[in-house]
Structures are given as C-alpha cells and as structure tokens.
Amino acid sequence: MSGIDAILHDFAALVRQGDCLPPEARAQGPLRVGVDLGTANLVLAVVDAAGRPVAGMSQRSGGIRDGIVVDYPATVRSVRAMKAELEARLGQRLTRAATAIPPGILPGNAKAIGNVIEAAEFELVEILDEPLAAARLLRVTEGAVVDVGGGTTGISVLKGGKVLASVDEATGGTHMTLVLAGALRLSLADAEAMKLDPAQAREVFSLVRPVVDKMASIVAGVLTRFPEVATVHVVGGACSFADFAPVFAAHLGRRVLKPAEPLLVTPLGIALYPERGL
C-alpha cells in the first residue's frame, strides 16, 4: 500500500466511524478544512498542521448541480450542520476553509460556491479547480488528473507542476444513474441505491459501461494535444468500480492509476491548502 493510499484509508475510517484523531496525536498548529460541494456528495475534511487527516464527514448532496448552487439555503444549512458536528467531535472551532470547483465554470457560479463557505461561518482561504486539489494530495506534477464527479468529468493536464489545460464536461455519476434507471425501469432513487451497492457493482458496471466509454472519450479528446502524457490519475466517487480504470486504460492507451477511496481524494486535497494561507 502506498503512503497516499494509507492516508486515504485512515481518512475513510475517520469518516465512516464518526471518529477523530486524538489531540495528543495531532501536529501543533491550526486545523485546516476542505469543503467539497459535489453534485452527489458534500464532504468536509479536516487536517492538522502537518496535513494528517484529523476528522471528516460526508453526506448526500441535493443543492449542487455541476458546480452550480441550485438550492443555496439548503446547502448552507448542510455545511453549517456538518461543521457543527465536526466541531463537537473535535472540541474546538473550525474557522478557515478552502473549497473547489469544476474547471471552467462561470465566475458568478464560483462566487456562489465561495459564498456558501462564508455563509457557513468559515473564512474562505482558497478556491481551486477540483482536479488540482486531487493532484495536490496525490503529489502529481506531471501527467493528467481526471475527477469524475456526480455531475461532471474534470480533466487537468500538468507539466512541471504547471497547468497546461483544464477542461470540464457534463458527464458523471448522475448520468450512470439515469442509464441504470432507464435500462431496468427503476425510479432514480432505486437506481442510485443500486449503483452504490457493492454487491451489485459488476452488474451495474455492465449497464453503465457506455457512460464510462463516453467519459474516456472525453479525456482522450483532451489528451490528443498532449501525447507526452504517460499517466492518467482518476479520482471521484463515480470511478469507484473495479473495472473503471482498466476500461479507461484500454481507451486511452496510457497507464491509468486509481487511488484507494477515490471519493475522498479531492476533499482531502482541498484541505491541504498552502501554509501561506494560514
């Protein structure tokens, strides 16, 4: 297991068990918070001054669509409630946070995302593109990072730590749910529940494979301009299927890497904002 996978496993355990790292085990200094406002999930990640996961929380989203706040009051209430729960676990206030957006969204939509963070009584430290947040955690400075979220697929290409291209297309996990519902004549709620059931993952993937093929085609189109890119890193909840990375690799003809707990990569990367922001 890589060091980053071990960090992700530790963070996942904290989220699922509703636990937090004891004060005596934390590095000295202020806690940092990453808020990931996704179409499918809202995730808050808390790290210590050394970047070690301290606590986290995830819940289903309902007020965000493809990086656009469609229900501002409900989203603010959700983030405030999650913040309050984490503060109760930690026994201290959380005051500063960063967030992320799909690449290329309009400035007004980015501002609305930032407003949610501030309305939840955080000082907003940073807004960055979601694939770049993932790259920060994964320590990727060369190659491509693909963040497959609930509503969109975001792609960033990096060389020497600099962004050469950043693209976002409206194909994500929600589209998988729609295909599943149509194929099996299910309600969207039942299709979503089936998609998230690990016991049915193989059957689900066989049905949503065309959506994955489309995602891979989108990424392949971006990468035609960058033949030097040898490795593609995929993150996000929609890429959790075991066969996702092999299908992408077959389409792209490049090495495709998927870390442990792909849903949690971006929020944890958001929390790792630079120390100068403190």
Instruction: Give 164-218 pLDDT, tens digit per residue.
Output: 999 999 899 999 999 999 999 999 999 999 999 999 999 999 999 999 999 999 9
Q: For the segment 10-20, what is each residue's pLDDT rounded down to a tens digit?
A: 999 999 999 99
Q: Are 255 and 231 in contact (CB under 8 A)?
A: yes
- Nearest CA-CA partner of 277 in 127, 119, 161: 127
pLDDT of residue 135 exceeding 60, the answer is: yes
**Cα distances (angstroms) measured from residue 118 to each of 105, 126, 166, 254, 265:** 19, 11, 26, 41, 23
Q: Are 218 and 153 in contact (CB under 8 A)?
A: yes
Residue corresponding to tokens 């400075």: 141
Which domains does the chain carry? Answer: 3-135+264-277 (3.30.420.40), 138-263 (3.30.420.40)
- pLDDT in the model for residue 151: 87
- pLDDT in the model for residue 1: 53
Q: For the segment 9-56, what is each residue's pLDDT rounded down to a tens digit?
A: 999 999 999 999 999 999 999 999 999 998 889 999 999 999 999 999
pLDDT of residue 278 exceeding 60, the answer is: no
Residue corresponding to tokens 């301290």: 54
Give the residues across from 162 on adjacent strands: 159
- pLDDT in the model for residue 68: 85
